[in-house]
Amino acid sequence: MNWVSRIKSPYNSFGKFWSFVISEMSFNFIWPVMSTYSGFWLVKYANFTHANVGLAFSMMSLMGLISAPIIGFIGDKVLEKKYLLYFIAILSVAMGPFMELVIMPMQGNTYITAIIMGLFVGIVMNSGTNINETYEQRMSFVNKFEFSWVRSGVTIIGFIAPLICGYLLSWQPRSFFWSLSVTGLIYLIMVVFFVKHDDSNLDVLVDKKSDKVTLKGVLKSIRSKPFIFFVIFLLGTVPLSQIVDQQAINYFTTFFKSNQGTTLFSYATTAQQLLAFVGMLLIPWVNKRIGYRNGLVIMSLLMAARILVFAVAPNWVFVGAAYVLGGLFIPFWFICPMGYIFSVFSKNEFATIQSLSTTAAVQISQMLFSTVIGSGYDVLGFKSTYTIVGIIVLVFALFGMFFLVRGKNDGSMNTAE
């Protein structure tokens, strides 16, 4: 199929392509709000300690972990139906009222508040991301578009959201989380009225050579060496990098005595997402040449290098530059794990395997280490904590280099053909 034909179909269809882009952007507004800025907001406006911020994120991970196998199994059963999307969309609209009416009045009791907040937000953010991504991945096959081009919507909102968040934090901090209700409403409208699929191409979702998804089949898959090695690799790389990002803004602002640090960090986050956006457009070409396995290894090495730069950074310029360079590994993380699962495991079990690996492994690691690393900032300081975490990520990256496997058609998955 030539480039002219690729542009004509399905990329000229609002329901079969652009609605996915808009829904991806509106839903994923929650990530820069929660992962990048909420730690700062909770410390400054809700009287959280750094350890309690870590506890809240641990609870988010716990909820994601508990829901992962259930969501994955249901997703493999309902396939193109949007029941799970409806559920998450409604909860997304409720984010603003929840933070305003539940969390803010409880700010004097941060331990209980951290648990309640983490569990609710975990359903929306962690469980919702799993639901959204697996659905869009499937529909990329059905509607024949490049999944990474839809996922580029995340990076688009990634460099728009920091500007909005930086403004809200500086001038209207109490309205900060109401932005999630606005974007949640947009997401709900897209899901209910506009997101569509090609009914004539649903057979592509089924691997006819494999049995339908069953509990027995899933248990067999998760006992296999490829699955175990994949999970071990994930446990020590991606979640630790994400934990570092949770409070990177608090580290960055230690170099300043005014709110200037918050503004500059918003610029760094925008630059990071702009770099990631370019990468998302190019990642299909990159993966065809290096494969999903090698993409995962490169991703983890970049993560380790970035954290170690944080550890030795003498000033805010180095910290900001290292944060921006995180945009290099974001496209690998968004695309390579799913491609790896499709190439190594049965696609009949795609959502289940993804939920138990890229979702559950990340949640387990974040649940275990968010509070530990958060406490490390208070006890050891940022630099010493980053040194330890960076070395750990590097060790697991080397593990992946030797033990991740190359699957069938690794790197050749092209959803637009």
Q: Which domains does the chain have, with CATH numbers?
A: 16-403 (1.20.1250.20)
The residue-averaged pLDDT of 84-92 equals 92
Q: Are 177 and 32 in contact (CB under 8 A)?
A: no
Buried residues in 161-172 as b, exposed as e (16+ CB within 10 A): bbebbbebbeee
Strongest mean pLDDT among 2-6, 15-19, 21-25, 105-109: 21-25
Percent of the chain with pLDDT over 70: 90
Amino acid 408: pLDDT = 67
Tokens of 132: 């959204």
**Strongest mean pLDDT among 21-35, 38-52, 394-408:** 394-408
Average pLDDT over residues 64-73: 79
Using pLDDT thresholds of 50, 70 and 90, give the confidence band for residue 207: low
pLDDT at 414: 45
Band of pLDDT at residue 227, cut at 50, 70 and 90: very high
Q: Which of 29-43, 128-142, 153-167, 221-235 has the lowest mean pLDDT?
A: 153-167
What percentage of the chain exceeds 90 in pLDDT? 18
Q: Supply 280's token pair.
A: 């998302």
Confidence of residue 352 (pLDDT cuts 50, 70, 90): confident
pLDDT of residue 332: 92
> Residue 109: pLDDT band by 50, 70, 90 thresholds?
low
> How many CB atoms are located within 10 Å of the residue 100 CB?
16
pTM for the structure as a whole: 0.72
- Helices 50-78 & 128-143 angle (0-180, nearest 10): 40
Res 410: pLDDT: 64
- pLDDT value for 304: 95
Model confidence at 416, pLDDT cuts 50, 70, 90, reads: very low
Determine which helix (DSSP H) or strand (DSSP E) holds 213, and give its type and residue range. none
Please give the pLDDT value at position 309: 92
Q: Is 39 helix (H, G, I), strand (E, B) or coil?
A: helix
pLDDT at 359 over 80: no
Report how far residue 16's alpha carbon sits from residue 416's, in angstroms, rounded to the nearest whole number.
12
Per-residue pLDDT tens digits for 147-184? 888 888 777 786 677 778 777 777 777 778 888 899 99
The count of C-alpha atoms lying within 13 angstroms of the C-alpha of 57, restricted to the half-sphere facing its C-beta, is: 34
Instruction: Tell me the per-residue pLDDT of 244-280, one tens digit each, with 9 for 90 and over.
Output: 887 888 888 888 876 777 778 878 877 887 888 888 8
Minimum mean pLDDT range among 51-60, 61-70, 127-136: 61-70
Question: Could you check whether the bond before residue 105 is cis, i.e. omega within 30 degrees of 0?
Answer: no
CA dist., res. 4 & res. 15, Å (int): 20
Whether residue 4 is predicted with pLDDT greater than 70 in this model: the reply is no
Reported confidence tier of residue 411, pLDDT bands at 50, 70, 90: low
pLDDT digits (tens, 9 = 90+) for 363-389: 777 777 888 888 888 888 889 999 999
CA neighbor of 119 nearest in space, from 187, 42, 160, 65: 65
Tokens of 27: 């839903």
